[in-house]
């Protein structure tokens, strides 16, 4: 099991370390500042904090000593004159996702933002440039729009470890896009999705994946927790099939995680409909499938089963080996040693949790 948990929360960056059979806080940084994403680059151990200062805007911080000291670097910025739509200037409102560029591109980092721009660094994050090929995609100005936020946002970046120029991204609301040449060209990959909120549910763009992830053991197996259900692809996003639980709760939600060693095993955190967005029936549980979404099992042992309003945001459910962890909107942090069969409380008194990551 990986020994560290990084949390991005409404009130700071928090790191837990597993020692003496329990999780203890190792580091608290930027107390009081919203951290949209807390991220560690597994290639070099650098910690990143994507800050959302509200009135002061976004800031980007990095630490090379596990949070003892931090250095501010220039956050991704849109070139002067760029517009979200005609007459609406483009400025970085939120950093919503971060991913490293792979072991063959050791200095490469990606960041996804609201209002829908993807940024690339080739110098370890010292500078970022807008990926203009995606920003200038012919569908963007008229076909992309806001979901949970007012403007489109890139919340998922999936770099294929077999070919690091092969990348999938998830956009709310637009859908899944794919590049096979490091971002020079992009293809839309929404075939099989069903956007019931659109006049044409099968439209080419306008879909709302809440998060998109790939199975580490088979990157062609992709999953998404979508606004309109759970969808899976076994052919690298060329086609999607809905695998929501028929008549059951595994359907609407935000987060999804896939097992390291089994592309058919995944966890979701069900919520009570897009209108209500609270725990179903006042009880908190995680659903797991072991057969690619054919069946789902509710995992409740150790989780609150009454008077609970918690839900789990899109980046706040993760797995690593036998371990699974998730954080909630009311600051509860849970951990499982046995793939979700039973749960332990790490803390009940944290700020709202935006992101969780297992790291070494």
Residue 63 lies inside a defined structural domain of this protein: no
- Per the structure, the complete domain to which residue 280 belongs is given by 80-355
161-172 pLDDT, tens digit each: 999 999 999 999
Answer yes or no: is 143 within a domain.
yes
- pLDDT score at 107: 97
Question: Is 235 contained in some domain?
Answer: yes
Question: Mean pLDDT for the chain?
Answer: 97
Question: Can you tell me the distance from the alpha carbon of 143 to that of 139, in angstroms, rounded to the nearest whole number?
Answer: 5
Tell me whether residue 147 is in a domain. Answer: yes
CB 206 within 8 A of CB 174: yes
* Residue 274 confidence (pLDDT): 86
Q: Which two tokens stand for residue 112?
A: 């996804």
pLDDT digits (tens, 9 = 90+) for 233-245: 999 999 999 999 9
Q: Is the peptide bond before 97 cis (omega within 30 degrees of 0)?
A: no
Rounded Cα gap, residues 62 and 240, in angstroms: 37
pLDDT (tens digit per residue) in 109-151? 999 999 999 999 999 999 999 999 999 999 999 999 998 899 9
Per the structure, the count of domains in the chain is 1
β partners of residue 177: 169, 188
b/e sequence 25-36, b meaning 16+ C-beta within 10 Å = ebbebbeebbbb
Residue 40 has what pLDDT? 98
- CATH number for the domain harbouring residue 180: 2.130.10.10
pLDDT band for position 55 (50/70/90)?
A: confident
What is the pTM assigned to this prediction? Answer: 0.97
User: What integer pLDDT is reported at residue 54 of this predicted model?
Assistant: 84
Provide the pLDDT confidence category of residue 1 given band limits of 50, 70 and 90. Answer: confident
Q: Report how far residue 235's alpha carbon sits from residue 344's, in angstroms, rounded to the nearest whole number.
A: 36
Whether 258 is in a domain gets the answer yes
| SS3 state at 135 | helix
pLDDT in tens, 183-202: 999 999 999 999 999 999 99
Residues in the chain: 360
34 inside domain: no
The answer to whether residue 121 is domain-embedded is yes
Q: What is the mean pLDDT of residues 206-215?
A: 98
Mean pLDDT of 94-118: 98
Cα dihedral sign, 23-28-34-36? negative
**Gap between the Cα atoms of 286 and 251, Å rounded:** 12
Q: Which two tokens stand for residue 143?
A: 């076909």
Which two three-digit tokens encode residue 195?
């956007």
Q: Which helix (H) or strand (E) segment is 275 a member of?
A: helix 273-276
Q: What percentage of the chain reaches a pLDDT higher than 70? A: 100
**Angle (CA) 201 98 266, round 5°:** 60
Q: Residue 21 domain-assigned?
A: no
């Amino acid at each position: 099991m990986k020994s560290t948990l990084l949390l991005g929360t409404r009130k700071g960056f928090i790191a837990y370390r597993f020692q003496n059979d329990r999780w203890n806080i190792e580091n608290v940084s930027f107390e009081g500042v919203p951290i949209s994403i807390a991220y560690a680059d597994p290639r070099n151990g650098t910690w990143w904090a994507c800050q959302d200062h509200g009135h002061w805007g976004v800031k980007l911080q990095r630490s090379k000593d596990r949070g003892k000291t931090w250095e501010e670097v220039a956050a991704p910025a849109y070139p002067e004159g760029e517009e979200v739509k005609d007459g609406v200037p483009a400025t970085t409102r939120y950093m919503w996702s971060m991913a490293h560029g792979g072991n063959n591109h050791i200095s490469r980092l990606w960041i996804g933002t609201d209002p829908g721009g993807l940024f690339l660094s080739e110098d370890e994050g010292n500078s970022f440039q807008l990926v203009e090929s995606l920003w200038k995609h012919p569908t963007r100005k008229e076909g992309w729009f806001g979901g949970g936020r007012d403007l489109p946002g890139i919340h998922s970046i999936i770099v294929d470890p077999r070919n690091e120029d092969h990348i999938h991204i998830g956009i709310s609301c637009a859908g899944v896009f794919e590049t096979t040449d490091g971002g020079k060209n992009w293809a839309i990959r929404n075939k099989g999705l069903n956007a019931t909120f659109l006049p044409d549910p099968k439209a080419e763009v306008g879909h709302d994946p809440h998060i998109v992830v790939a199975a580490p053991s088979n990157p062609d197996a992709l999953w998404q927790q979508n606004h309109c259900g759970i969808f899976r692809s076994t052919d690298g996003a060329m086609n999607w099939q809905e695998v929501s639980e028929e008549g059951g709760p595994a359907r609407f939600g935000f987060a999804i995680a896939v097992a390291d060693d089994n592309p058919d095993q995944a966890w979701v955190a069900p919520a009570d409909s897009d209108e209500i967005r609270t725990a179903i029936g006042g009880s908190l549980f995680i659903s797991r499938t072991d057969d690619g979404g054919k069946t789902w099992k509710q995992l409740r042992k150790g989780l609150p089963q009454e008077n609970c309003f918690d839900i789990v945001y899109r980046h706040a459910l993760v797995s690593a080996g036998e371990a699974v962890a998730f954080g909630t909107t009311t600051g509860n942090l849970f951990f499982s040693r046995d793939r979700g069969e039973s749960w332990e409380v790490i803390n009940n008194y944290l700020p709202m949790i935006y992101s969780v990551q297992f790291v070494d």
